[in-house]
Amino acid sequence: IIIDDEFSRVGRVLEFLRKLLAHDGAVVVRFGRPLDTVGNRVDDELRSVDRCGRVVDLPSFFKDANGELQPDRQRDSEYTRHLGREVAAAFRRETVFQSTSLLARAALDVLEDRSGTADIYRLLRLPSSAVHAPVQQVAERLRILIDTICSNPDLGCITDADRSKSADELMEEATRWLRTYHTRPVIERLGDRLHVADMKLLYYYANRTSHIEIPEGEDDAL
């Protein structure tokens, strides 16, 4: 047993279980369109289809000039790279963003703007008095982030329930959830400001949205 591990303490374990049982969140499982072994999408009739929508003969991808199935290291390496790119794209596309990640990204963006740096190491060294953001600015950034995701399906998706909520409702939900799994709140609302109590965890939650770039015009509007 690791003595200094927080879950080696009985009280800490019981408190975590209490919070977990009181948690009203849900686990989202999303099944995307299947891919074949080289990254082509598979249709409802289990046929491989290329990007142009044409049915392709998958075995022919592995045959030589004589029509024989043959191993080819260079060819197979290229297929593997292509499959990897398609899997990564599918992972982004099928991701369902939770309010925790959305709030963390919005708050982090505002903190970066206010501090004048996007360097995570500099942000981690900020004094606690500087690690806060106006609720209104975070709400505006949160709405822009949601609009960006909804208008670009390849970036991921947001549930209908979350899309129908106001920014204030999403912030309230996210801050409540971020109090459940951690010994201290990751972020909490203090009046008209959001205070970040754990920058490392905020960055962890925001990292799920790291592939999303806010349109420059929208960003400047804040």
State whether 100 and 209 are in the same domain.
yes
Q: Verify that 130 and 174 share a domain, yes or no.
A: yes
Q: Are residues 149 and 192 in the same domain?
A: yes
Whole-angstrom Cα distance, residue 30 to residue 91?
Answer: 10
Residue 75 falls within a domain, yes or no? yes
Total number of domains constituting the chain: 2
Final residue belonging to a domain, choices 94, 109, 127: 94
100 and 208 co-located in one domain: yes
Indicate whether 142 and 47 sit together in one domain: no
Pair 82, 108 in one domain: no
Domain presence at residue 66? yes
Cβ-contact 113, 138 below 8 angstroms: no
3-class secondary-structure state, position 193: strand
Per the model's pLDDT, the better-predicted residue between 181 and 214 turns out to be 214
- Distance between CA 138 and CA 144 in Å, rounded? 10
The domain boundary residue, chosen from 94, 114, 133 = 94
Q: Is the pLDDT of residue 195 over 90?
A: yes
In this structure, are residues 4 and 13 in contact, taking their beta carbons and an 8 Å threshold? no
Residue 13 lies in a domain: no
More confident residue, 80 or 22: 80
Residue 1: what pLDDT? Answer: 41
- 77 lies in the same domain as 118: no
Q: What is the CA radius of gyration of the chain?
A: 23
126 contacts 199 by C-beta, under 8 angstroms? yes
As a whole number, the mean pLDDT across the chain is 87
Question: What is the model's pLDDT at position 139?
Answer: 96
In a domain, 19, yes or no: no
More confident residue, 65 or 87: 87
pLDDT tier at 2, thresholds 50, 70, 90: very low
Q: Domain check: are 72 and 45 in the same one?
A: yes
Residue with tokens 């991808």: 61
Mean pLDDT of 180-199: 89
User: What average pLDDT does this structure show over 189-209?
Assistant: 93
Say what the pLDDT of residue 24 is: 61
In angstroms, the CA 172 to CA 189 distance is: 8
| Under 8 Å between Cβ of 200 and 124 | yes
Q: Which domain, by its residues, includes 88? A: 41-94
Q: Are residues 53 and 89 in the same domain?
A: yes
What does the angle CA 109 – CA 115 – CA 117 come to, to the nearest 5 degrees? 70
110 and 68 co-located in one domain: no
**213 shares its domain with 112:** yes
Question: How many alpha carbons fall within 13 Å on the CB side of residue 34?
Answer: 9
Residues 112-144 pLDDT 10s: 999 999 999 999 888 877 789 999 999 999 999
CA 192 and chain centroid, separation: 26
Q: Quick one: pLDDT at residue 8?
A: 56
- C-alpha 16/C-alpha 180 separation (Å) is 8
